[in-house]
Structure 1
Amino acid sequence: MKNYKNFFFHVLGLALGLVVVSCGENNSPEVEPEVPVSLKINVSNITQNSADVTVVPSNEKATYSYGLFRSASLQGLNDDQITKLIVPDNTKISEKLITGSKTFSPDTLVDNTEYTAVVVYYKNLIADKVYRTDFKTLKSAYKDLGEGANCYIIPEAGKYSFVPLHVSGKPIENIAKVDWIWATKVGESNEQKLITYVKYDGKRVQIDATGERGSIVLAAFDNAGKIVWVWHIWCTEVPKTMKYSNGKVFMDRNLGALSANEADGKKTWGLLWQWGRIVPFFSGYEETEWQKEDAFTESRKWTIMNPTYGLEWKFEYHAVEIDEAIARPTVFFCDKKSCDWNNTINLKLWGGVKTDYDPSPAGFHIPQTSDWEEPLANFVPRDDWSGATYTFEGNTAWWPASGSGREFDSGCNIIGFGGGIFVWSSTAEYVTDIMFGLDNSPMAYRLAYQTRTKFLTLKAMGNRAFAHSIRCVAD
């Protein structure tokens, strides 16, 4: 019995020995210890409106999300809140993650502004660590003229710039270059004296202004040389405003005018617009030139054309589409049958809500007739027929008889006679009026006041091919 026991333990010992030998000879690969992942954010090539932000992970397989914010917008936020700004709740995280090194190049930054680049490292699709790097864009030598508009006011000599945007904020596309096309004269000079430099750098339109007073029109050209948009640069002091009795706040002068002071006479007249167009016309300064066949005689006398582009003031007796009207900004179009410049009837080119075709500067729009109907019933005309005044709460506004009542009519003539005030509204509608022979006819409305007879029409019908003054109202 004892021998059996010895045999059993001997076999057991051999088995255990084999186990020990087997364990000792195990060649399975060892599990490597996990290496922590880190990320670096490098910011380079900083300009007034751009920078290169490069994210470099220590492991090229690392995944992360990226965001760029104005530093002020992140104040008071913790890492979890910032992470949700980049990858909001209910977002499929895997679709937002980036792998490996990458350079981001934002090019619409605001100059002289602090920004924070944020990178969130994700481990197994879970946010693990937040990295931040701050930087500041360079200060631009050019003063920003503000939000998208079709008119920009330059009050003094200096460097200015704007991003070419529509009023709606949508970018104006297909711009290859920007240049001036016509300007009002400064004194008797036959040289353009309002700006010395204009350039489109791919992001902004840059302008060097002399400080002289007047209006100059810039055009954006595409690669084929076609004009795709225009802007009115109004070189004048910043206009003041005046509250009227109905609570509306009007600009103190006509759009394009160089003064709001009655004593300055012709300087208060401003420019003219066909209803719905963005581009202005210049009517000149002649006070007795009525019923003439060519309304542009004075325009040619008091404006300077850029000789590079071969443009000229002229009339064409037909209507065109909007893009052609923009492409040919010195042509007064008029179809003698429709009495419109536009082939397509569109009564919403201007309106109570500011449109992309509204020629007013930022903060203003063309008024509806309802904006002036109650207060301007109290016009006081001047005995010399030069215009009329409106007074409220001790303040007085001057409304000139621009060009002594001249208007560019649908026959492309100067009509009217001394003492007439004509100002466009943005109101337009289809009209049926047996007296005027109108049957659901499209009409725009204007202010019409004859200072000689004191005959006032606060909602006078007008053909959209007419060119009249504009008096902006505050938004």
Structure 2
Amino acid sequence: YQSDGTEKTNETLKGWCQGGGIVKVKLLWQTKEDGDIGEPVMGIVNSAEDHTNIVDIKRTDGKAVGQNPVTDKGQCRIYCRVAPGTTGGSGVIAAYDSSDNILWSWHVWVTDYHPDATGNVDVQEPLTKRKLKFTYGNHPDQRPMMDRNLGAMAGYAKAPTSDVEKFKTHGFHYQWGRKDPYPSSYSNRPITEVTLPSPIEEPIVGIMSLYRPDGVEFLPFDPGVDATATYRTAYQNPLNIYKQKDVHKWITDRDNAYINAWNSPKTVHDPCPAGWRVAQIENYLSLFSNADQAVKGEGQGANVQNSNTLGKDGGMVLAYDKNKQKTTYVRFTGYYYLNTQFYYIGTAALIWCGNKLANSDKGESVSYFRITSTASTKADIVLSGHEREAIPLRCIQEKD
């Protein structure tokens, strides 16, 4: 992986490989191009066991991987393709040991969006390279952010008009400190609450579906496993959201590596692409109308540009530059809540921030940026969020 422009060894994966190593890679899941319609984004695998037409692994020394498991950096290359002509979406590929345990998995973000990871400037065109340099208010200079949630198929400056366009802005949801993406909402109308079974074994109204490697069959996932987990257990089970009842953290070992998982410098647990990392709470201050908005201050109102049409737009258009001429659309995705709910589709959104967590073991010190269509201030900063919840995030550039 890369951190601050430097290639690093994934020491976590390397350690887990010492018990046997990687012997194969497979496609775990994929989306369709437009929710539950369209073509599978990654394609259709050869068979249940043979996924080599989509993803394959080759040792750099030419030896067979099955008989010579991969245990260290530089020993192999993983090759991945997507369906020809796809309009975009996502998939996850996974590396397995000889006992069929997942050692690591990677989110494949299929998109034509590729903003430059260098250059400390705002870029509006072409749209495939758009990135946003927030400058409103009396705040320190900061690098540009992506114009969309991580994993989203599209980002907009103004509110999109069609339901499909709005859905494309959702991206994925993440438990704090984990790299694994989870489905967002998918609905053409506001829904206050969706009750989630555990596990979700068939398509459910309001929630985006995942599909198996055959591109046809629905893939179950569990949004509320009643347990905590170590990083290793969590990464062996990337389809599980760990939410032990009445416990606000998902992780068993809340050590220093975890509380800095999304801080700077970037770690292996940061889900953002190379050259980018999870944005911090201070990176969102320019979206408040108070030019002196502080991280620990109460929200004084957001730079909302579509106050009269929030319901119709299904999201908030926020100005971010000194002259309030440049804007970004933030979709009201809603969010996973407690063990069995998904709340406020079309009326609210929470966005994770990567700031270092407090040493408290209660799991209640995470930061997020919140917007709602109903609150008088429209936006605020929460410093006591629950680490086990799964919500979207945005990525900020690592270097100038």
- TM-score by shorter chain over 0.5: yes
Using the TM superposition, give the Cα deviation of residue 294 of structure 1 relative to its aligned residue in structure 2, in angstroms.
Answer: 0.6
Tell whether 2:56 aligns with 1:199: yes
Tell whether 2:195 aligns with 1:293: yes
Report the counterpart of residue 112 of structure 1 in structure 2: none
Q: Helix, strand or coil for the counterpart of 1:253? A: coil
1:300–1:164 distance in 2 versus 1, CA, 3 Å: farther
The count of residues paired between Structure 1 and Structure 2 equals 308
Using the TM superposition, give the Cα deviation of residue 440 of structure 1 relative to its aligned residue in structure 2, in angstroms.
Answer: 7.3
Give the whole-Å Cα distance in 2 for the aligned partners of 1:470 and 1:356: 16
1:200–1:179 distance in 2 versus 1, CA, 3 Å: same
Give the whole-Å Cα distance in 1 for the aligned partners of 2:102 and 2:393: 24
1:194–1:392 distance in 2 versus 1, CA, 3 Å: same
Using the TM superposition, give the Cα deviation of residue 301 of structure 1 relative to its aligned residue in structure 2, in angstroms.
Answer: 5.5
What is the identity, as a one-letter code, of the residue corresponding to 1:276? G
Report the counterpart of residue 350 of structure 1 in structure 2: 262
Using the TM superposition, give the Cα deviation of residue 451 of structure 1 relative to its aligned residue in structure 2, in angstroms.
Answer: 2.9
Using the TM superposition, give the Cα deviation of residue 329 of structure 1 relative to its aligned residue in structure 2, in angstroms.
Answer: 0.8
Q: Helix, strand or coil for the counterpart of 1:427? A: coil
Greater relative contact order structure (CA < 8 Å, 6+ sep): 2
Give the whole-Å Cα distance in 2 for the aligned partners of 1:422 and 1:179: 32
What is the identity, as a one-letter code, of the residue corresponding to 1:347? I
| Contact 2:336–2:343 under 8 Å retained in 1 | yes
Tell whether 2:348 aligns with 1:473: no
Report the counterpart of residue 396 of structure 1 in structure 2: 326
1:358–1:211 distance in 2 versus 1, CA, 3 Å: farther
Which residue of the other structure, out of 219, 242, 247, is the alignment partner of 2:94? 219
| Contact 2:210–2:218 under 8 Å retained in 1 | no
Q: How does 1:156-305 map to 2 (within 5 A)?
A: 166=10, 173=17, 174-187=21-34, 188-189=36-37, 192-195=40-43, 197-202=54-59, 203-209=76-82, 210-212=84-86, 213-237=88-112, 238-239=114-115, 240-245=130-135, 246-248=140-142, 249-261=144-156, 262-263=159-160, 264-286=165-187, 287-294=189-196, 297-298=204-205, 302-305=209-212
The structure with the greater share of residues assigned to strand is 1
**Which moves more between the two structures, 463-472 or 369-378?**
369-378
Give the whole-Å Cα distance in 2 for the aligned partners of 1:396 and 1:278: 31
Give the whole-Å Cα distance in 2 for the aligned partners of 1:167 and 1:258: 31
1:339–1:381 distance in 2 versus 1, CA, 3 Å: farther
| Contact 2:25–2:55 under 8 Å retained in 1 | yes
Q: Helix, strand or coil for the counterpart of 1:372? A: helix
Which residue of the other structure, out of 226, 233, 241, is the alignment partner of 1:324? 233
| Contact 1:428–1:445 under 8 Å retained in 2 | no
| Contact 1:241–1:252 under 8 Å retained in 2 | yes
What is the identity, as a one-letter code, of the residue corresponding to 2:40? Q
Give the whole-Å Cα distance in 2 for the aligned partners of 1:165 and 1:397: 38
Using the TM superposition, give the Cα deviation of residue 349 of structure 1 relative to its aligned residue in structure 2, in angstroms.
Answer: 2.1
Using the TM superposition, give the Cα deviation of residue 441 of structure 1 relative to its aligned residue in structure 2, in angstroms.
Answer: 6.0
Report the counterpart of residue 122 of structure 2 in structure 1: none
Q: Deviation per CA, 1:233-254, whole angstroms, max 9, x where unpaired?
A: 1111224211111432111111
Report the counterpart of residue 380 of structure 1 in structure 2: 304
Q: How does 1:70-149 map to 2 (within 5 A)?
A: 148=2
Using the TM superposition, give the Cα deviation of residue 223 of structure 1 relative to its aligned residue in structure 2, in angstroms.
Answer: 1.3
Report the counterpart of residue 412 of structure 1 in structure 2: 340
Q: Deviation per CA, 1:108-150, whole angstroms, max 9, x where unpaired?
A: xxxxxxxxxxxxxxxxxxxxxxxxxxxxxxxxxxxxxxx548x
Give the whole-Å Cα distance in 2 for the aligned partners of 1:304 and 1:417: 22
Using the TM superposition, give the Cα deviation of residue 365 of structure 1 relative to its aligned residue in structure 2, in angstroms.
Answer: 0.3
**Which moves more between the two structures, 411-420 or 296-305?**
296-305
Tell whether 2:366 aligns with 1:448: no
What is the identity, as a one-letter code, of the residue corresponding to 2:262? W
Q: Which ranges in structure 2 are unaligned for 5 or more consecutive residues?
A: 44-52, 60-75, 116-129, 290-301
Using the TM superposition, give the Cα deviation of residue 178 of structure 1 relative to its aligned residue in structure 2, in angstroms.
Answer: 1.3
Which residue of the other structure, out of 221, 227, 236, is the alignment partner of 1:313? 221
**Which moves more between the two structures, 205-214 or 295-304?**
295-304
1:321–1:299 distance in 2 versus 1, CA, 3 Å: farther
Q: Deviation per CA, 1:51-88, whole angstroms, max 9, x where unpaired?
A: xxxxxxxxxxxxxxxxxxxxxxxxxxxxxxxxxxxxxx
1:344–1:319 distance in 2 versus 1, CA, 3 Å: same
| Contact 1:236–1:258 under 8 Å retained in 2 | yes
1:180–1:290 distance in 2 versus 1, CA, 3 Å: farther
| Contact 1:428–1:442 under 8 Å retained in 2 | no
